[in-house]
Amino acid sequence: MGIDKSSFMPLYYQIANNLRRDIKKGKYQPNTALPSEYQLMAQYGVSRGTVRDAIKMLLAEGLVTRQRGRGSFVTSPKIEQSLLKLLSFTELMQSQGKTPSAKVIVSKVLHSPSDDTEKSKMAEVAHALRLSLQERILFIERLRLGDEEPLVIERSYFPASMLEALLEYDIEHESIYTIMENELDIKLGHAEQSIEAKVSDNIESEILQISPGSPMLLIKRLAYAVAGEPVEYAEDLYRADRLKLRISTKRSLPHSRESDSESLHMIKPDLQG
């Protein structure tokens, strides 16, 4: 579709609308290049600045990314996760038709902290998992990929007394939640979760293959077994450009019992900090 040069709508805006529609229709497939700036200039009879402004809109919407010297590429649709379901990464990927995989970065039992930062982290985790400071904590850090694309760094802490056996399994190829439920007889019941924004540091950027300072979603999860005891405290760092969280909410009166209990639920001390 062309553009209307007599319209009150800016030209860059019309071009962005056309490109957006073509991406949504599948004319330009994920991971393929958009026409070059010169091609778009010729196609619409506009200046380079106008084409660039149109592309900038699509970049801001996350529909395309720029690759230096190669042009603009269509991004794949974001992974959508419902906040109402307690899913493992494996189940989340399967729900999106993607193949999950993992690379273990660290897997060890934490005994005595090596410095103050580790000490305060262990104290925070012990508090969340309702452990004493003397109890051992199993720490597993994995990079998780979907169809080979790095998506999230998972940092999970488990009570070692309950889950040290995880170290005997192939957690690069097997789902931890499946091992817990099918092999170790720990059935997961519910979880408290919180979501914050964070930018990636140099190490996280290298692992996730993104530029330093990229936006990420930090999702903290405290998962409980059906019997009620906490079994996992996790801090997951998702690439914000690849994940979309969904939740449906119900309107309730400001001071109803239900809304009070829900807001209390949100500030449970276990997930603060």
Residues that bind ligand GLP (CB under 6 A): 88-90, 154, 156, 175-178, 221, 232, 234, 236
Long-range contacts of 128-133 (CB under 8 A, 24+ apart): 128/157, 128/222, 128/230, 128/233, 128/270, 128/271, 129/157, 129/158, 129/159, 129/222, 129/230, 129/231, 129/233, 130/229, 130/230, 131/159
Q: How far is CA 259 from the centre of its chain?
A: 27
Q: Min. distance of Cβ 192 from ligand GLP in angstroms?
A: 12
Helix (H, G, I), strand (E, B) or coil at 189: strand
d(CA 113, CA 197): 27
* Token pair 């419902």: residue: 82
- Cα–Cα distance for residue pair 230/76, rounded to 1 Å: 36
Q: What tokens does 194 get?
A: 């919180």
Distance CA 183, CA 162 (A): 12
User: CB-hemisphere CA count at 13 Å for 88?
Assistant: 19
Decide if 223 contacts 191 (C-beta within 8 A).
yes
